[in-house]
Chains A and B, each alone.
Chain A
């Protein structure tokens, strides 16, 4: 059962513009949602998270929005930079998910100079 879906396999944006990455989930019981970024041949690195009791969390250029009624979250990167080019994964957490992240298929973001 796919608990998380990232329906856009790839996204291409121009440097300085906004990047919007989307994620849909199925289980309303999750307590947190996390975004990770991954470069090739490296492990994922934590980017930003949001608690299910909030609808927005901001950290510098990165903002995550949570729409619980639609079971949808999105990551906004403004302004986008070439160094942001990576694969982005979302994952829910909560319940007895000790150490377990259920990643979506990921979205490949390419930021062109």
Chain B
């Protein structure tokens, strides 16, 4: 069974641009969540989608958005990029992401550098 696939692996953008990152979950998984990892803030939750609906959202500005398609694939978008958006963006999938400690499976991430 293929794992969580994130594309692209690396991305370089300049301030003010926008970027779209893609995530393909494990087959059969319906929940996709996104995380940002930076050296200063650690791993922070961005949002979670299930059946094309956002169920949970972290404390990030509106420049960060996402969506999920009917095949459970997900994209996240960051508009008007800032230097501080440079980070490793991780996607995770799970079957349904219940509240009962269901484990998440993470992709290898997209390393975004904003110059």
Which residues of A come within 8 Å of B, CB atoms? 31-34, 41-46, 49, 51, 89, 93-106
Which residues of B come within 8 Å of A, CB atoms? 4, 31-33, 35, 42-45, 48, 50, 55-56, 58, 88, 90-92, 94, 97-109, 111
Q: How far is the CA of A105 from the CA of B98 in the complex (A)?
A: 24
Q: List 14 A-B contacts (CB under 8 A).
A: A31-B100, A32-B100, A41-B109, A43-B91, A44-B43, A46-B103, A93-B101, A96-B55, A99-B33, A99-B45, A99-B50, A99-B97, A100-B56, A101-B35
Which 9 A-B pairs have CB atoms at the shortest separation, nearest pair first? A43-B106, A32-B101, A99-B48, A99-B33, A46-B103, A99-B97, A103-B43, A98-B55, A98-B56
Q: A42-B108, A42-B109 are in contact. Are A96 and B101 (CB under 8 A)?
A: no
Q: Could you say which residues of chain B place their CB within 8 Å of the CB of A42?
A: 106, 108-109
* Closest residue of B by beta carbon distance from A33: B101
* Closest residue of A by beta carbon distance from B31: A99
Would you call B56 and A99 a contact (CB within 8 A)? yes
Q: Main SS of chain A's interface residues? A: loop
Would you call B101 and A98 a contact (CB within 8 A)? no
Q: From B32, B44, B108, give the contact of A99 (CB < 8 A).
A: B32
Q: Could you say which residues of chain B place their CB within 8 Å of the CB of A49?
A: 101, 103
Would you call B107 and A34 a contact (CB within 8 A)? no
Would you call A43 and B32 a contact (CB within 8 A)? no
Would you call B97 and A98 a contact (CB within 8 A)? yes
Q: From B35, B42, B103, give the contact of A34 (CB < 8 A).
A: B103
Would you call A43 and B109 a contact (CB within 8 A)? yes
Q: From B35, B43, B105, give the contact of A46 (CB < 8 A).
A: B105
